[in-house]
Amino acid sequence: MFAYFRKEIEWAGRPLILETGKIARQADGAVMVTYGDTVVLCTAVGAKTVKAGQDFFPLTVTYQEKAYAAGKIPGGFFKREGRPSEGEILNSRLIDRPIRPLFPENFLNEVQVVATVLSHDMENDPAIPAMIGCSAALTLSGIPFFGPIAGARIGQINGEFVLNPTISEVKESTLDLVVAGTSEGVLMVESEAQELSEERMLEAVIFGHASFQPVIDAIISLAEVAARAPWPLPETTKEEATLRKRVEKIGNKIMVEAYKERQKQARVEKLNEARERIAQLLEEEGLDAEMAKPMIKDLEAQVVRGSILKTGIRIDGRDLTTVRPIVAEVGLLPRAHGSALFTRGETQALVVATLGTGQDEQVIDALEGEYRSRFMLHYNFPPYSVGECGRMGSPGRREIGHGKLAWRAINPLLPSKEAFPYSIRVVSEITESNGSSSMATVCGTSLSLMDAGVPMPRPVAGIAMGLIKEERGYAVLTDILGDEDHLGDMDFKVAGTSEGVTALQMDIKITSITPEIMKTALEQAREGRLHILGEMAKALPEGRVGVSDNAPKIMTINIPQDKIRDVIGSGGKVIREIVEYSGAKIDIGEDGTITIAASNDDQAQKAISRIDGIVAEPEIGRIYNGKVVKTADFGAFVNFLGPRDGLVHISELAQGRVARTTDVVKQGDEVKVKVVGFDDRGKVKLSMRVVDQETGADITETVGEKAGRPRREAE
């Protein structure tokens, strides 16, 4: 019944199994990948025809996690999976980026790729099997695809590279790098690192590329027995060839003239006019201007790329290595905890940092379990930033991806929660964009955190590199413009400090690049990054000492674990009373760590005083402030240390003989008492007689001298 095929290899000490022919047989390609006990079903389906008038390639990649994969039932009212999580969106992008460049340029049929996590063993990250499975499904489908690709995750533990570290091993690693590519070269890199050198990052990429070659061989081996017949490639008609020649002849001079404009918005207007002029001239010759639209786009690329390779001069007049002018400012917003405006050429980010308490941490419900994140970075890209009208709504895949890249760049430099017990939220509002707003976000985030008083050891900066590669040579571009990104062959973003790289993201639009090109790009990126760090230092050479006055004041104290119950009280009664009395927010950890967040020092001290009163043990000989809570014939009960009461015997109420307790104190009186001992049951014995009730001074010796005998102990 099933035309079933299976391929198994040993990879990084675990079996990797590719299966096809049993599940999802109506898809053009379907492969189930098993790695350890993590299982992912990957499918690929392509539309057989192109929609009329379509001039782009509609590829959709969806990575989805099912709660049952981890033996869980979804939370919420509906009890089913809802909108994709941030992790699912990021993994969708991770798979999309290396496969997108491998479809034929003139192939415009809609293609949908879906990866569904069916089982998760809590050790092997499903993203890598999903990427491999999607590549295999496309390779088997017959859809035109110049693959296969494969990917691997690389860690570094104790100075050694580790292939596909488990989820627990990643926590110990100084590197978290995902690399993907073909047998020829690398197509995509995504990483977070603890200030590694450029040389070490390149070694990791090369190690990763070599490590997944057996996987590519396995996919090819499976395709040899299970692949469907290949679809015919779209052919260029004689009419299209003739039209392309006319577009190049008619439009070359017009397009060259338009690209002489250095300012972006003015250049956009001139380019629109140039496109309209070329279309008009084609129509006057009786040619199809609509069919010529993609050819005009290709002409733009030829003009820009050819000029850069020939002259070394770019669209805005810069050479290959110059960074655009930078202006950095901090402290713009009076009520924000930290703020920065970072402007690089025509790219600008307004970045705001807010400090919060442990109650502000983000709770993330992932397949591997629920956890909390104390650092959040949100990136917004409104349409006005590029001078356009557009949809305003929830963030899209691009915004989430750019925000996560900036997060990875900054996260390695943040202080530990023990050293800095604040939750941190950063929001980057892109107010202008013409090239690498994500790297502007990195620079602005670093400045805003320093402005907020977050103790970072060093500032972080980011820069985007580009590539123009033709048969006659190549050029690596520092600090690329939007047009250079769109018309170039590489988007290579590097972030880090003066000491090393903290994040690297690379996307290649051609089949691959060589290690030599990557090395050149990394070296140029380092020079550019150091220049940007120097410009940032002009705005804020060092971080602020202490947090902003507008930020909450957070103090941390530790109490014995057996006292936690006393501080919380029955049903939380005690802790609620402390919060109401002090006005502070209080978090109590399981280890006895108490974090107190308050608007001012007075609120914090009130909370600490109450907590100290609950957990502290009475010290013999120490004087405390107290309150009379009850009187009796034999003395008064005084509350003096949190909820703790002690007895002042009638003989210890005052000097001389006291006939009745109420002659000296009444319920509600504020008094000063000294701890003089404990009875057989551990109850505290107090004295007012030996304490000056006005000054709180200990007058034990004076009392003894006046009496002419040693002080009598309370009964």
**Per-residue pLDDT band at 708 (split at 50, 70, 90):** very low
C-alpha–C-alpha distance, residues 292 and 329, integer Å: 46
Structure-model confidence comparison of residues 713 and 315, the more confident one: 315
What is the Rg, in whole angstroms, of the alpha carbon atoms belonging to the chain?
Answer: 35
Helix 264-284 × helix 293-311 angle, to 10° = 130
Quick check: bond before 144 cis, omega within 30?
A: no
The Cα angle at residue 361 between residues 358 and 362, in degrees rounded to 5: 165
The Cα angle at residue 159 between residues 154 and 165, in degrees rounded to 5: 30
Question: Cβ neighbours of residue 116 under 8 Å, at least 6 residues apart?
Answer: 40, 41, 42, 64, 66
> What is the per-residue pLDDT across 19-64, written as a single tens digit (0 to 9) for each?
999 999 999 999 999 999 999 999 999 999 998 878 789 999 999 9
C-alpha–C-alpha distance, residues 343 and 337, integer Å: 20
CA neighbor of 29 nearest in space, from 38, 18, 37, 16: 18
Structure-model confidence comparison of residues 589 and 403, the more confident one: 403
Label each residue of 291-351 as H, E or C.
CCHHHHHHHHHHHHHHHHHHHCCCCCCCCCCCCCCEEEEECCCCCCCEEEEEEECCEEEEE
DSSP one-letter code for 563: G
| Cβ atoms 16, 9 nearer than 8 A | yes
**Per-residue pLDDT band at 710 (split at 50, 70, 90):** very low
Give the rounded percent of residues in the chain with a pLDDT score beyond 70.
Answer: 98
pLDDT at 712: 41
Question: Cβ neighbours of residue 187 under 8 Å, at least 6 residues apart?
Answer: 97, 98, 101, 102, 149, 180, 181, 507, 508, 511, 512
**Per-residue pLDDT band at 714 (split at 50, 70, 90):** very low
Helix (H) or strand (E) holding 229: none
The pair of structure tokens assigned to 412 is 């390695």
Count other C-beta atoms under 10 Å from residue 503's C-beta: 27
Mean pLDDT score across all residues of the chain: 90
C-alpha–C-alpha distance, residues 414 and 407, integer Å: 11
SS3 label, residue 574: helix
| Cβ atoms 254, 48 nearer than 8 A | no
The pair of structure tokens assigned to 434 is 């013409």
CA neighbor of 409 nearest in space, from 365, 360, 373, 462: 462
> What is the per-residue pLDDT across 663-707, written as a single tens digit (0 to 9) for each?
999 999 999 999 999 888 888 999 999 998 888 888 876 665 554
C-alpha–C-alpha distance, residues 135 and 148, integer Å: 6
Question: Where is average pLDDT lowest: 260-274, 355-369, 595-609, 692-706?
Answer: 692-706
Q: What is the mean pLDDT of residues 469-480?
A: 88
Q: What is the mean pLDDT of residues 116-131?
A: 96
Structure-model confidence comparison of residues 701 and 331, the more confident one: 331
C-alpha–C-alpha distance, residues 112 and 45, integer Å: 5
The pair of structure tokens assigned to 391 is 């949809």
pLDDT at 482: 85
The order of strands in the sheet holding 593-598 is 553-558, 593-598, 585-588
CA neighbor of 684 nearest in space, from 624, 618, 628: 618
> What is the per-residue pLDDT across 219-256, written as a single tens digit (0 to 9) for each?
999 999 999 999 998 787 888 888 888 888 888 889 88
* 449 φ/ψ angles, rounded to the nearest 5 degrees: -70, -40
pLDDT at 301: 85
C-alpha–C-alpha distance, residues 436 and 478, integer Å: 11
SS3 label, residue 41: strand
Question: Cβ neighbours of residue 299 under 8 Å, at least 6 residues apart?
Answer: 247, 248, 251, 252, 255, 278
SS3 label, residue 66: coil
pLDDT at 705: 52
C-alpha–C-alpha distance, residues 169 and 163, integer Å: 11
Question: Cβ neighbours of residue 387 under 8 Å, at least 6 residues apart?
Answer: 265, 268
pLDDT at 713 over 60: no
Structure-model confidence comparison of residues 532 and 264, the more confident one: 532
pLDDT at 704: 57
Helix (H) or strand (E) holding 267: helix 264-284
C-alpha–C-alpha distance, residues 101 and 187, integer Å: 8
| Cβ atoms 58, 122 nearer than 8 A | no
pLDDT at 310: 87
Structure-model confidence comparison of residues 358 and 140, the more confident one: 140
CA neighbor of 63 nearest in space, from 91, 83, 39, 85: 91
Q: What is the mean pLDDT of residues 429-436?
A: 92
CA neighbor of 675 nearest in space, from 702, 709, 698: 698
> What is the per-residue pLDDT across 439-463, written as a single tens digit (0 to 9) for each?
999 999 999 999 999 999 999 999 9
> What is the per-residue pLDDT across 535-557, written as a single tens digit (0 to 9) for each?
999 999 999 988 888 888 888 88
pLDDT at 706: 52
Structure-model confidence comparison of residues 11 and 696, the more confident one: 11
Question: Cβ neighbours of residue 406 under 8 Å, at least 6 residues apart?
Answer: 377, 379, 428, 438, 441, 442, 445, 462, 495, 503
pLDDT at 709 over 50: no
Question: Cβ neighbours of residue 234 under 8 Å, at least 6 residues apart?
Answer: 104, 106, 107, 108, 144
Question: Where is average pLDDT lowest: 13-27, 184-198, 598-612?
Answer: 598-612
> What is the per-residue pLDDT across 78-97, written as a single tens digit (0 to 9) for each?
888 888 999 999 999 999 99
Q: What is the largest CA-CA distance in the chain?
A: 127
Question: Where is average pLDDT lowest: 29-33, 228-232, 335-339, 355-359?
Answer: 355-359
C-alpha–C-alpha distance, residues 97 and 468, integer Å: 19
> What is the per-residue pLDDT across 629-660, written as a single tens digit (0 to 9) for each?
999 999 999 988 777 789 999 999 998 899 99
Can you spell out the DSSP letters for 450-493?
A: HHTT---SS--EEEEEEEEEETTEEEEEES--HHHHHHSSEEEE
- 180 beta partners: 151, 188
Structure-model confidence comparison of residues 712 and 416, the more confident one: 416
C-alpha–C-alpha distance, residues 645 and 662, integer Å: 18
